[in-house]
Amino acid sequence: MAPARLQTGPNPIHFRGKKMIELESERFRLSIPVGEALAFAMGWSNLGYSEPSDGMRRVVGVLAVDALEHEEHWREAALARHCLGQKWPGGFTP
């Protein structure tokens, strides 16, 4: 299962044969539940990847926070940003 997907667009980005993200003119969207994305971003889950990179985890974390903010779940987004900031200091500051 891919961590992120694009709503529309002809050029998806693939990683190891799995569609990760599709490019959209304005935004990226997760294709997995936010909870699974945050667990992946924090390193608690690998989502079936044998060796996910820190870069993958950070991107999925950013997309998860963005999804929470887009849905106006401000407290949850702030908590997620704080947790991700603890994992990667300076990487998730407002």
What is the per-residue pLDDT for 10? 46
| Listed range (14-23, 43-52, 59-68, 75-84) with the worst mean pLDDT | 14-23
Q: How many C-beta atoms lie closer than 10 Å to residue 19's C-beta?
A: 15
Give the angle subtended at the CA of 43 by the CAs of 40 and 47, to the nearest 5°. 40
The dihedrals phi and psi of 3, each to the nearest 5 degrees, come to -70, -25
State the residue for tokens 């690998």.
Answer: 46
- Percent of the chain residues past pLDDT 70, beyond the cut: 66
Q: How many C-beta atoms lie closer than 10 Å to residue 16's C-beta?
A: 8
- Percent of the chain residues past pLDDT 90, beyond the cut: 33
Question: Which residue would you say has higher pLDDT here, 77 or 26?
Answer: 77
Domain boundary assignment for the chain = 4-87
